[in-house]
Amino acid sequence: MAEYAGKVYLVGSGPGDAAYLTVQAQELLARAEVLVYDALVDGELLDLVPETCLKLDVGKRGGQPSTSQTEINRLLVEHCQQGKLVVRLKNGDPFVFGRAESEIKALRKTGCDYEVMPGLSSALVAPLLAGIPLTDPKLSRCFAVVTAHDPDAMNWVSLARIDTLVLLMGGRTLPEIVRRLRGHGRSPDTPVAIIRYAGRPNQQVWEGTLTSIVAETANASLSPCVIVVGEVVGLRKYLQPREQGRRQGKGEAGRGEWGPGDAGTRRRGDTKTRGGLFRFRAFFSIG
Positions marked catalytic: 38, 60, 169
Distance CA 215, CA 71 (A): 40
Residue 32's CB is within 10 A of a number of other CB atoms, namely 24
Residue 189's CB is within 10 A of a number of other CB atoms, namely 10
Q: Is 63:93 a contact under the CB 8 Å cutoff?
A: no
For the chain, the straight-line distance linking the first and the last C-alpha, in angstroms and rounded, comes to 63
Phi, psi of 74 (to 5 degrees): -65, -40
Show the CA angle centred on residue 71, arms to residues 67 and 74, nearest 5°: 150
Q: Is 33:62 a contact under the CB 8 Å cutoff?
A: no
Amino acid sitting at position 178: V
